[in-house]
Amino acid sequence: DAKTTQPPSMDCAEGRAANLPCNHSTISGNEYVYWYRQIHSQGPQYIIHGLKNNETNEMASLIITEDRKSSTLILPHATLRDTAVYYCIVRGAQGGSEKLVFGKGTKLTVNP
Amino acid sequence: GAVVSQHPSWVICKSGTSVKIECRSLDFQATTMFWYRQFPKQSLMLMATSNEGSKATYEQGVEKDKFLINHASLTLSTLTVTSAHPEDSSFYICSAPPTTQETQYFGPGTRLLVL
């Protein structure tokens, strides 16, 4: 079973920031938080991951609470192409060879 | 990021036939690859872990004799759906982690329709 809880759906206006929450209250000290997204009928796309520090890349920012029990993915200026299902996944630190367990994710709809 | 390809992108077959799906890592080597299945409006479900040079590891409830996996090289894994039936119709997706990275990269998926 997935170790994360996400709202089933969210809406966001184009050009505004999209903040997607994720609860992972049972996360262990050596487990990472990963975010992927899946645009309709495509394979998932990696977005970002982190352990305990906040992370930022060209796609998004990841804010992890100090107790690591929740996190927020931020898309700073959402576009229509960001409409997708976003998956928050907790995974151990065994490198890329450890399997990913997908939950139901959050369906983000960016509206014009 | 690293690139993973799948072939074919879609396939239609008759019930009872076998279908082979290829997953390739184009610019990196992967000792491990993963196969997922996704039914409409559902999340991805891991089917099996493909290991180069050894037997695949199947998730509980996945029939290993029906879903044959071969990982013959560091850049290629194949999934063969044997004696396909309409209930096997689904979106099949593979992923591969470069040995030097912590991230898995996914292929574009293969849509299978069994008539």
Q: Alpha-carbon distance B115 to B96, whole Å? A: 30
Instruction: For residue A94, count CB atoms less than 10 angstroms from its CB and return exposed for 0-12, middle for 13-18, buried for 19 or more.
Output: exposed
- pLDDT one-digit tens code per residue, B60-110: 999 999 999 999 899 999 999 999 999 999 999 999 988 767 788 999 999
Residue A22, strand partner residues: A71
What confidence score (pLDDT) does residue B24 get?
96
A43 vs B106: CB contact, 8 Å cut-off?
yes
What confidence score (pLDDT) does residue B108 get?
96
A80 touches chain B (CB under 8 A): no
B45 vs A102: CB contact, 8 Å cut-off?
yes
Query: Hey, which of A92-96, A98-102, B5-9 has the most confident mean pLDDT?
Result: B5-9
B31 touches chain A (CB under 8 A): yes
Looking at residues A58-67, what average pLDDT do you find?
A: 96
Residue A85, strand partner residues: A38, A107
Of B13, B5, B110, B24, nearest to B71 (Cα)?
B24
Q: Quote the minimal CA–CA distance from B15 to chain A in Å.
A: 23
Q: Count CB-CB contacts under 10 A for residue A54.
A: 12
- Pick the residue of A1, A49, A100, A101 with the most B CBs within 10 A to test the interface with B by mutation: A100
Residue B51, strand partner residues: B32
What confidence score (pLDDT) does residue A55 get?
95
CB B80 within 8 A of CB B19: yes
What confidence score (pLDDT) does residue A2 get?
66
Instruction: For residue B69, count CB atoms less than 10 angstroms from its CB and return exposed for 0-12, middle for 13-18, buried for 19 or more.
Output: buried
B chain contacts of residue A93, beta-carbon cutoff 8 Å:
102
3-state secondary structure of A95: helix
Q: List, in order, residues 6 or more apart from B40 with CB less than 8 Å away.
A: none
Cα torsion angle, A91, A12, A56, A45, sign: positive
What confidence score (pLDDT) does residue A99 get?
82
